[in-house]
A = this chain, B = another copy of it.
């Protein structure tokens, strides 16, 4: 039996694994990166990049109808589904190709194409029969869509996000299960590209939002635009005789039956830790089967094993995966010396239209932890610049700590949320007070002036600021 002895073994060559490799390879040449599938990250292949490509096309398809109010009239566009999907695939392949090129440029003796399973705390069994013995190990196996067995009846018409990006053409109709990030982003994009879409959510949740005011507003906005059921009551799922899928669901007490070409399952993701032999290790695992680990150093318990990225399912976001991969690689290479790394301020963005964002502590975390905080709010519908651009819908809620005035976090649905999120996440990481944020410049007329209004309202709620006159005239008309 072939035995390989290495300093560090990394299971998975996605974002976290690549980042870990980059750290480890600076310290030792005796490192092995083990990948069972094709190279390329979830983000580049089936995640952030292709979804944003589809969304860009969808926004283009949506622009024309919005323009009439400006005095600029477009006839409805011709949406060439094959051309739309061709650009999505080609650009996706280009981005993913960079990743593959990078990995393949790394020394061959650092890489193995195989599926690895733990045989013991220090040993990995490969599916080609070899065994890897490692001083330290990084688990970076990623995640996959969590498909409930209840969808089994859809047969080959049941798809996940990965499948969408391989389409050659747009289908006529899709039913989407799940109103999380993937369900909302893809569902709305397909809807805008002319696909008949119905989205079923659960428990009236909208993406990861937790502030009831923001959840409700987001829900109203998406319900108004498309066939979105925030708490869908689907009573039957089946493969339909005509080749698609068929569902029964209830609306206002009446039952309906509808048929679609595909059922897109977007009911969350699960970490790929169920088939890597963790039962052969001494690691303690939580109820999802994920090893108990420290989020600040990526270390599992007090072991020599580290976990990073979607495999721990904590923040399934690219930038978090990269940070965790860094910590895991840094520590795996230097073990038993283990260092903790401060986390950057939390930030998440959903690329719906309007966009959704959350930064810092969420409303649920603040209330759950009993933090004494106050809330400031702005309604985007009357915000000057948003109104000028006809993107004036949504709400921003900002949270500040009572007595210290420190800015704690925000939740929002509204225009340019991705940009507002960075401004606020950076302010959060800088530990700014609301007053300090208000001392910073706000140009005119910009979306950021809406942030100022929310912060002023927050300052007032904190009893740390004075009332500003209505519409704060000398701050710019309609700011």
Contact = CB atoms under 8 A, between A and B. Distances in A.
Interface of A: 15-16, 18-19, 22, 41, 43-44, 48-49, 52-53, 56-57, 60-61, 63-64, 66-67, 69-75, 77-87, 91, 94-96, 98-99, 102, 193, 317-319, 322, 325, 342, 344-349, 384-385, 387-390, 416, 418-423, 425-427, 429-430, 432, 437, 439-448, 469-471, 473-478
A450 to B, nearest CB: 12
A443 B96 contact: no
16 contacts: A44-B477, A60-B63, A70-B84, A71-B84, A72-B77, A95-B478, A96-B477, A98-B473, A98-B477, A98-B478, A102-B473, A322-B475, A419-B420, A419-B446, A423-B423, A426-B440
Contacts of A48: 444-445, 476
A443 B349 contact: yes
Contact of A429 (B84, B317, B441, B477): B441
A441 B425 contact: yes
A15 B419 CA distance: 28
Contacts of A67: 60-61, 63-64, 77
Contacts of A91: 387-388
Contacts of A57: 70-72
A72 B80 CA distance: 6
A83 to B, nearest CB: 3
A377 B421 CA distance: 23
Q: Which 9 residue pairs of A and B lie closest in terms of their CB atoms, listed nearest first?
A: A71-B83, A71-B84, A419-B419, A44-B477, A95-B477, A60-B67, A19-B474, A57-B70, A344-B441
Contact of A474 (B75, B322, B470): B322
Contacts of A87: 69-71
Given A74-B75, A430-B440, 7 more contacts: A41-B474, A63-B64, A64-B67, A71-B86, A71-B87, A102-B469, A322-B475
Contacts of A420: 419
Contacts of A470: 102
Contact of A426 (B82, B426, B478): B426
A161 to B, nearest CB: 16
A285 to B, nearest CB: 26
A161 B272 CA distance: 61
A448 to B, nearest CB: 5
Contact of A422 (B53, B75, B86, B443): B443
Contacts of A72: 57, 60-61, 77-80, 84, 193
A67 B24 CA distance: 44
B421 A419 contact: no
A65 to B, nearest CB: 11
